[in-house]
């Protein structure tokens, strides 16, 4: 920053626009010994992170027992999942997120001890947003909204509270204001977050649950990608056949509700089997991982005849654009006289267009084969 250049950032103005916590967190994300590019984009991103944290807290408060239900809160606050036995009893998503939290506590504690504040901040950010908010909170909705099993709902509530309160503890040195506000918004807090003991390190972990949940994530991502590829309406529920080995089916099938909710599948038409379904040649095949595949019937996702027409029209347009690019590259006057970076850009566009044409032709051939079948 330089007064001469007029690019000095006044921290008071920044706090007014983005909040104290967002500014503190942004500064903490810098690498020790290096200058930090304090950009508006970074501040905006970390303001969004603060909002995400706040909204997660609101979600929890809206889905936890009423403050007057003392016995329910006693159970929630008593579950600490700090023993091997308590961890092993949890369903897969809960076991995965608690294991991830225990790993996070160890990593962040080591980073704090070494004064690697940037590493600690990034580790918390990645876990909270990438694992807890994007995956576990969404998975917990199957227990909270789509299940009549009161024990499953209570377990999800306990895990939500346990994980979130530990995230607040880890994040408090960076973002003291929003974390304290959220901490004290929860009932039955005996002391302020500022004087609450630091999370215990060396807590038990179930590494097998990490691999298993990653397989489930790969399957969900694969189904989401196919939905996007075929432009399936967001609200439309489709059927699926999940094919896997017996040991994989054992844990994936138990999370049928989670799979259906996060992939937008029709839960009544999700089948689990060890062999490919009879309509496999009329389905989109997904390989999520070794020993875990899925088949999505085309007829469920699109009107095949209309999709063939759409792709044929699209292919014709893409071919025309590609031919125009090739014609430019085949012109000696263009290649010799145009600046090198312009020629390079046209070559890259031609290469990308050729790849897209190849993919579109393959998909078109697949759709046409299903019609003939």
Residues 133 and 235 in one domain: no
Domain ends where: 256, 272, 300?
Answer: 300
Domain ends where: 186, 205, 224?
Answer: 205
Residues 232 and 314 in one domain: no
Domain ends where: 152, 177, 205?
Answer: 205
Of the pLDDT bands very low, low, confident and very high (cuts 50, 70, 90), residue 46 is very high
Question: Within 10 Å of residue 332's Cβ, how many Cβ atoms?
Answer: 7
- Tell me what the mean pLDDT of segment 179-189 comes to: 93
Could you give the number of structural domains in the chain? 3
CATH number assigned to the domain comprising residue 192 = 1.10.730.10
Residues 23 and 112 in one domain: yes
pTM assigned to the model: 0.83
Residues 222 and 317 in one domain: no
> Is the predicted pLDDT of residue 111 greater than 90, yes or no?
yes
> Is the predicted pLDDT of residue 5 greater than 70, yes or no?
yes
CATH number assigned to the domain comprising residue 241 = 3.30.2320
Residues 94 and 193 in one domain: yes
Give start and end residues of each alpha helix (H) in the chain. Answer: 11-18, 20-28, 40-62, 70-78, 84-88, 92-113, 117-125, 137-145, 150-171, 176-185, 207-229, 246-252, 256-263, 298-301, 304-329, 332-337, 340-372
- Tell me what the mean pLDDT of segment 358-363 comes to: 83
Of the pLDDT bands very low, low, confident and very high (cuts 50, 70, 90), residue 32 is low
Lowest mean pLDDT, pick from 3-7, 48-52, 220-224, 228-232 = 3-7
pLDDT at 31: 67
Residues 28 and 137 in one domain: yes
Range of the domain at 76: 3-205
Residues 154 and 191 in one domain: yes
Give the torsion through C-alpha atoms of 301, 305, 307, 311, to 10 deg: 150
Residues 239 and 341 in one domain: no
Residues 110 and 220 in one domain: no
pLDDT at 302: 75
Mean pLDDT of the chain: 90
Residues 161 and 215 in one domain: no
Residues 331 and 287 in one domain: no
pLDDT digits (tens, 9 = 90+) for 186-224: 988 889 999 999 999 999 999 999 999 999 999 999 999
Residues 19 and 48 in one domain: yes
Question: Within 10 Å of residue 298's Cβ, how many Cβ atoms?
Answer: 22
For the chain, how long is the longest CA-to-CA vector?
Answer: 83
CATH number assigned to the domain comprising residue 338 = 1.10.287
d(CA 266, CA 243): 17
């Amino acid at each position: 920053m330089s007064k001469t250049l007029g690019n000095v950032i006044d921290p008071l103005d920044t706090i007014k626009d983005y909040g104290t916590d967002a500014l503190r967190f942004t500064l903490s994300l810098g690498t020790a010994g290096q200058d930090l590019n304090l950009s508006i984009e970074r501040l905006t991103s970390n303001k969004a992170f603060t909002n995400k944290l706040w909204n997660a807290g609101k979600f929890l408060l809206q889905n936890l027992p009423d403050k007057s239900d003392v016995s329910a809160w006693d159970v929630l606050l008593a579950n600490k999942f700090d023993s091997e036995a308590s961890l092993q009893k949890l369903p897969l998503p809960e076991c995965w997120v608690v294991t991830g939290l225990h790993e996070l506590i160890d990593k962040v504690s080591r980073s704090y001890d070494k004064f690697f504040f940037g590493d600690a901040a990034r580790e918390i950010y990645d876990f909270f947003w990438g694992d807890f908010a994007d995956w576990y909170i969404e998975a917990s909705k199957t227990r909270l909204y789509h299940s009549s099993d009161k024990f499953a709902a209570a377990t999800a509530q306990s895990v939500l509270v346990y994980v979130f309160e530990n995230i607040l503890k880890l994040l408090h040195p960076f973002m003291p204001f929003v974390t304290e506000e959220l901490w004290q918004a929860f009932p039955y807090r005996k002391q302020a977050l500022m004087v609450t003991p630091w999370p215990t390190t060396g807590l038990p972990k179930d590494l097998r649950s990490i691999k298993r949940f990653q397989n489930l994530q790969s399957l969900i991502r694969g189904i989401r990608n196919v939905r996007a590829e075929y432009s399936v309406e967001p609200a439309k529920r489709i059927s699926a056949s999940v094919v896997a080995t017996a040991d994989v089916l054992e844990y994936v099938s138990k999370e049928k509700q989670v799979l259906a909710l996060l992939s937008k599948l029709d839960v009544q038409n999700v089948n689990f089997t060890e062999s490919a379904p009879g309509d496999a040649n009329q389905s989109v095949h997904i390989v999520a991982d070794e020993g875990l595949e899925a088949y999505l019937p085309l007829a469920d996702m699109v009107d095949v005849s209309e999709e063939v027409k759409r792709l044929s029209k699209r292919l014709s347009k893409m071919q025309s654009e590609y031919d125009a690019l090739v014609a430019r590259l085949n012109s000696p006057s263009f290649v010799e006289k145009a600046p090198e970076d312009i020629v390079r850009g046209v070559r890259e566009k031609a290469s990308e267009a050729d790849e897209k044409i190849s993919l579109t032709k393959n998909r078109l051939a697949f759709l046409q084969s299903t019609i003939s079948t």
